[in-house]
Structure 1
């Protein structure tokens, strides 16, 4: 058995909760983090049928992409399915955890899984996000600079793209006067002291701010550590929504749509008028991706695969791209494989099961 908190830790390293949208409700829906987990059942949605399957298969953790509800639950009377699920899960000591828009946002997440299933290559995030990076600036005695830098890098600072241990350093001189009740690293109480220092600058992801700060404070030799965090508007290419890539070979639009339907087992594909041009670049977004249409056009995609387009949104393609709406469930179904690969790699010889229940609420006649 594995403690639930250990599983949650690995999930949140991969898909940090800080990446979820404001409206979302990702995370532990019910359960005690100290509980020992005998088995995990992976699903896209938590339904009563999935809950029953988890009980029958002796899995006391359900790992889902979609939260039970995006809204808060004020009562627990069993008047609807989410409430009935919570009541039965609690009675059976069964935990439920979801990773939703935070899993949508990470590299190798929901959209990447779809892109890979479609055979796309050179996959990149379609719309990288801003506002998730900080600049840390601190001042360190020169002899301690390497030790401080290494501590910061170990805590997760200093990553720029595929480079790590990134920092900028300037040599200068700092001054301070130690007051009463101090134990200065250098100098004497009441005397102005000059110290040769290095100014160390590095990049820190927002969700690692506290971890990096604690590492700085615990490693720095000064009693009072001088540091600043500055918000950055830099684009973070490893975090964002959607994905874009290239088919191994150029395909006619009809041929690509045929393959798309076969790979996703879509009941139907709603699409805009074909442009009679070869498909050289494809954008995808698992789930409701209409908000990325213009980004897909801007990125030069010939075809955009997603779901939940409304009537008037199809017209926004304006002959510049082909929209292929395959359905919400169909576009996110491979998310289960993302969870499965992560957990089986981190916890080998542990019971990780894929649900056999199709939770798609949409049927085709």
Structure 2
């Protein structure tokens, strides 16, 4: 298998188009057409991780965090980023990063946290905006059902738990083929009128390329009139954080003790306990202060995240318990998620879970 083959499989879980604009995801180092001897999955790509990849004969590192975040202007080995990249290049190792693409996936980072903590029926906490599009096109009446069928097969017409969604209206289309055309109907140089239907279908933004390819390949016209607009509808399957409920409610201290054990964190920083039972739990892996208001609006009893600053704890306002369990701790199980996913997809391939320690934060107990 090539690097491209494996990254294509990973994009089925978390398309790179899901990533936030500030992020740097995808193939950061290497040739997408190179043959892969083995895959090492890690949370961070550091020098010791590259050493581990060399030892395990893995020439593709699948990393959650990108080692190259801002632009590199030189490669002299003057810092840990440059040294890591240089070592990877020198040893023919490719690096692929997923980061916020996996954060925004409904089967990604936050779904894994919910699994570990026993949170049931999780839903996206902050749905990603601008992700639902509408395609409008026109086709001869006799071709409408075929066009809709291929669009549905390509992923159009899906919203929530509904599929094959569309709207059609009939009318008369007109066109005049020019001298260099090869029209499927009508004559060159003459205005032609055709009974047509306007077809409208919605789709999730990452499917646009595939849907348009299906439209152009199957439409009878030489020139296919179409337009795409972005809708205000909320996509409940893509976004940051998740919220769900515990099977059995418990008091705050008992729940925090459970979180401490399951998430393997030595310490939890939290806002004032409210003396209430915990039933609804919101989670967001990594830095999650921006989601405090969303967790409150969703009536969460507690919000599990990391990197909360001093004054941000005040935002709890005795409405919610904010619990900072550590950045690494919220994301540590992500590599297990990726390993399990890849083994399921390519069971007879060498997939390794990195054993290297990459957490830069140490605790004095």
Partner of 2:279: helix, strand, or coil?
coil
Give distance in 2, aligned partners of 1:52 and 1:184.
61
Give distance in 2, aligned partners of 1:181 and 1:27.
42
Do residues 231 (structure 1) and 238 (structure 2) align? Answer: no
State the Cα deviation string for residues 72-115 of structure 1 (Å, max 9, x = none): 11100000111111111111111111101111011111111101
State the 1:153 CA deviation: 2.0
In structure 2, the residue matched to 1:319 is: 318
Give distance in 1, aligned partners of 2:129 and 2:87.
40
Give distance in 2, aligned partners of 1:336 and 1:209.
29
In structure 1, the residue matched to 2:357 is: 358
State the 1:309 CA deviation: 0.1
Partner of 2:236: helix, strand, or coil?
strand
In structure 2, the residue matched to 1:144 is: 143
State the 1:171 CA deviation: 2.4
State the 1:228 CA deviation: 1.0
In structure 2, the residue matched to 1:85 is: 84
Partner of 2:200: helix, strand, or coil?
strand
State the 1:44 CA deviation: 0.5
- For these two proteins, the number of residue pairs brought into alignment is 364
State the Cα deviation string for residues 272-322 of structure 1 (Å, max 9, x = none): 110000001000000001100000000000000000000000011010100
Partner of 1:202: helix, strand, or coil?
strand
State the 1:165 CA deviation: 2.2
Partner of 1:251: helix, strand, or coil?
strand
In structure 2, the residue matched to 1:54 is: 53
- Structure 1 window deviating more from structure 2 (77-86 vs 190-199): it is 190-199
In structure 2, the residue matched to 1:269 is: 268
Give distance in 2, aligned partners of 1:51 and 1:37.
15
Partner of 2:203: helix, strand, or coil?
strand
Give distance in 2, aligned partners of 1:179 and 1:95.
50
CA contact (8 A) 2:28 2:68 kept: no
State the 1:222 CA deviation: 0.7
In structure 2, the residue matched to 1:32 is: 31
In structure 2, the residue matched to 1:19 is: 18
State the 1:209 CA deviation: 2.0
Partner of 1:201: helix, strand, or coil?
strand
Give distance in 2, aligned partners of 1:343 and 1:49.
23
Give distance in 2, aligned partners of 1:221 and 1:321.
58
Give distance in 1, aligned partners of 2:85 and 2:245.
43
In structure 1, the residue matched to 2:7 is: 8
Partner of 2:172: helix, strand, or coil?
strand
In structure 2, the residue matched to 1:217 is: 216
Give distance in 2, aligned partners of 1:109 and 1:55.
28
In structure 1, the residue matched to 2:249 is: 250
In structure 1, the residue matched to 2:175 is: 176
In structure 1, the residue matched to 2:133 is: 134
In structure 1, the residue matched to 2:280 is: 281
Give distance in 1, aligned partners of 2:264 and 2:128.
31
Question: Structure 1 unaligned runs (5+)?
Answer: none
CA contact (8 A) 2:171 2:197 kept: yes
State the 1:71 CA deviation: 0.6
Give distance in 1, aligned partners of 2:320 and 2:68.
34
State the 1:194 CA deviation: 2.1
Partner of 1:238: helix, strand, or coil?
coil
Give distance in 2, aligned partners of 1:59 and 1:74.
28
- Structure 1 window deviating more from structure 2 (179-188 vs 280-289): it is 179-188
Partner of 1:363: helix, strand, or coil?
coil
Give distance in 2, aligned partners of 1:297 and 1:275.
14
Alignment of 1:80-119 (within 5 A): 80-119=79-118
In structure 2, the residue matched to 1:336 is: 335
Partner of 2:316: helix, strand, or coil?
coil
TM-score, structure 1 as length reference: 0.97
State the Cα deviation string for residues 336-357 of structure 1 (Å, max 9, x = none): 1221122112111111111112
Partner of 2:77: helix, strand, or coil?
coil
Give distance in 2, aligned partners of 1:6 and 1:154.
22
Question: Structure 2 unaligned runs (5+)?
Answer: none
Give distance in 1, aligned partners of 2:128 and 2:120.
22
TM-score, structure 2 as length reference: 0.97
